[in-house]
Structure 1
Amino acid sequence: MAHLKLDLTASAPKDERGATATEYGLLVGFIALAIVLGVTAFGTALNGFFNDLAGAVAALVF
């Protein structure tokens, strides 16, 4: 009885390329989302800066 051992890891597939590709895909997706959010926030702030600058220049000219 002591020699009977159930080894579940031996029957598990050793090929994990699909899981790794999925993990990398999720990672790339999250990085892309972070970049889009960062660029959007920066663009909004930059738009506000240039609107303020345009208002200041218009006040000086007119």
Structure 2
Amino acid sequence: MFEGIERFVREEDGAAGVEYALLLTIAAVIIGAAAKVMSPIIKTTFNTVITGLGGTPVP
């Protein structure tokens, strides 16, 4: 992994930097969308566990 980062830093080709930036942007958008979709499911699961343990669910 560190070899790739070192190679990126030494890379003089501007296209490679743009490609890495695009990949990181796409990954961030996908992670953000997944978090938005999964958050109600995760909240429901945690509330089920909290209720099962006798606690008060989070609103």
Ranked by relative contact order (alpha carbons within 8 Å, sequence separation 6 or more), the top structure is 2
What is the TM-score normalised by the length of structure 2? 0.52
Which structure 2 segments of 5+ residues have no match?
Answer: 1-10, 55-59
| Cα deviations by residue, 1:17-60 (Å, 9 ceiling, x for unpaired) | 84xx10010000000000000011111111121234456x35xx
Q: Displaced runs of 4+ in structure 1, greater than 4 A?
A: none
Aligned to 1:49: 41
What is the TM-score normalised by the length of structure 1? 0.50
CA RMSD of aligned residues (A): 2.7
Match among 18, 28, 31 for residue 26 of structure 1: 18
Among the aligned pairs, what percent are the same residue? Answer: 5
